[in-house]
Every structure is written in C-alpha cells, then in structure tokens.
Copies of this chain bind each other. A is one copy, B any other.
Amino acid sequence: MQSPVLVVGSLGLDSLRTPLGEVEATLGGTAAYFSLAASLYTDVWLVAAIGTDFPTSYRNEFEQRTIDLAGLQVLEGETFRWSGEYGYDLNVAETLDLQLNVFADFHPLLPAAYRRARFVFLANIQPSLQLEVLEQIERPALVAVDSRDIWIQMNRQELTDVIRRADIVFLNDAEIREYAQTPNLVAAGRSLLALGPRTVVVKKGEHGALLIDRDAVFAIPAYPHEVVVDPTGAGDSFAGGVMGYLASVGDPTIRAFRRAVVHGSAIASFTVESFGVDRLRQLSMADVLQRYRSFRYLTAFDEES
C-alpha cells in the first residue's frame, strides 16, 4: 500500500558555478531535491525552514506536485543560502559562501499527522535535529538517514545514535570511509549494519552506488553521461527516487530495494544534466522508466558464460 514519505532537511537558494556555466540564487537544499524526486512516486511531507524572502513561486511549485507544506516553517529573516563551485573534474564542490540565516534557528516540529509517517528521510542536517525528528514519530516503518563529513567529525556520537535507529543509511564513499575508518567500502558498509540498519547505500558519484545488506551486495553503475552539467543534488534526488519508490511499494522486499536503487540512479542521472533542479522539475515518470530500461542494457550480460 502506498505511503507518503516524510523528509526533513534544508531548503535554500543556491548559487552554482561549474565549468559549463553558472546560476544565481536558484531553488536548492537537500529537501528540495529529495521532494521533487520523491513526488514522482508518492505524496511528500516536507519539513524545513525558510525565510520571508523565499519565492512564492517555489512554494506553488511544491504544492502543485503533492508536496505538502504543513511542516514548512516560515521564520523571520533570510532563507539559507549556499554558493558553490565545481572544478574541472566535477568531483567535489568548493563552498564559496554559506549563510545559514533562518536555518541556524531551525528545530523541526512535526504537524500531528506527520507523526504517523511510515517512511522517513532524514536529510543531511545536524544529527541532534535528526534525533528530534525521530522523537516525534510514533511508529515508522522505514527510517533513512543521510549525513556528511562535518557531522562525522564533530557530532559522531549523535550521528551514531541516529544510525542505530535507522533502517537505511545513505552516505557517499568518502563519508562512509571516514565514519567506518576503513578504505574498503564493503567492510565499511558491513560495520554500519552491525549498528542496526538493515541496509547501507553507498553513493559513489560517477561510479554508481552499492546497496549493502547482511546477505548480499547489489552494485549499480552510474549512467554513462559524456557531459555532466552540474552534480548538485544528485545524491538527494537519488535518495528521493529510492525512498519515493519504496514508499510507493509500501512493504518493500529485497528485490524492491534493488529496483528502488535503480530508480534513484535513473533520477540522479537526469538531475546532473542541467543546473540545479532544472531537469528534475521537468521530469516525468515516462522519462524515468525509459532510463530504467537503459540501466538494464548498461548492465546486461548473458546468464550462460
């Protein structure tokens, strides 16, 4: 049975520069990418903070996509702003400027209905805030958590507490190596499973993703783009595809988890084709299903050797 998916994360105004161009103060933030992706599959409940300067057009866009904004906090002041630049290899963004603004005072407060959320995505925010969310949720079926280097370094204990209560952990390759203190991604994933989660998803950018559970590993490559315009939001839209798909299935099997990771990979492959959320906001399920089939061919080889 289809469920909504709850996401708690950031909304912001991003300024992005890559070798192929730049864009100023456009819709960004982890929760924006996640919500736009997940809303292709199911209703999204969005919890985030914005300032009074957040464009009404972006709110309208969310609402037109069955992204519920009852959990959106409009705080006095300016919206979170991030300015980043990618070098030649598009690998890591250099932060040029970061203004937390209203995000500095954000404490997630869930509307009553959201407390019964079954599918929950804790986007990359301070682990103590992720714990505040979990305290408010009654009986989740599937909790997923994302994080990043700064929390691994500065708030390791709280992050570990979150991971202990999560079913799925999303981290990129550098992050999971740092958290698990091992260069081997499979060993790192397994060490996280020992804390409680049933699944670890390692995001490897141009090298695709790994889905690691107790019994097996599933590996999916990235879509083989010759040109990547802007990698911003690839990871969050990937997670949006994964979680949106799982919530649309309702009671996911191991095979559904694999399909979910392919959906996430398909969506991320579109995200990087344009600046910011541009491609994502135009995306249809037909596009996604076509790319799903491309992933089949990308990875296909004969059963008989």
Contacts and interface: CB of A to CB of B under 8 A. Distances in A.
Interface stretch (A28-36, A70-78, A138-146, A297-305): A297-305
Contacts of A301: 218, 220, 255, 258-259, 261-262, 295-296
A62 to B, nearest CB: 25
Given A218-B298, A300-B258, A224 B186 contact: yes
A187 B259 contact: no
Of the listed residues A91, A221, A261, A289, the one surrounded by the most CB atoms of chain B closer than 10 A to its CB is: A221
Contact of A292 (B88, B216, B222, B305): B305
A183 interface: yes
Contact of A298 (B190, B219, B288): B219
Contact of A305 (B187, B206, B208, B289): B289
A184 B86 CA distance: 14
Interface stretch (A10-18, A45-53, A164-172, A225-233): A225-233
B255 A184 contact: no
A207 interface: yes
Given A88-B183, A90-B183, A302 B258 contact: yes
A105 interface: no
Of the listed residues A186, A187, A225, A301, the one surrounded by the most CB atoms of chain B closer than 10 A to its CB is: A301
B298 A227 contact: no
B220 A186 contact: no
Contacts of A216: 297-298
Contact of A225 (B186, B212, B263): B186
Contacts of A190: 226
A185 interface: yes
A221 B219 contact: yes
A274 to B, nearest CB: 17
A107 interface: no
A210 interface: yes
A300 B258 CA distance: 8
Contacts of A220: 221, 299, 301
A135 interface: no
A142 B96 CA distance: 50
Contacts of A262: 301, 305
Interface string A267-305: 000000000000000000000110011011111111101
Given A210-B224, A255-B301, A261-B301, 8 more contacts: A88-B183, A184-B206, A184-B228, A187-B226, A204-B207, A217-B298, A220-B221, A295-B301
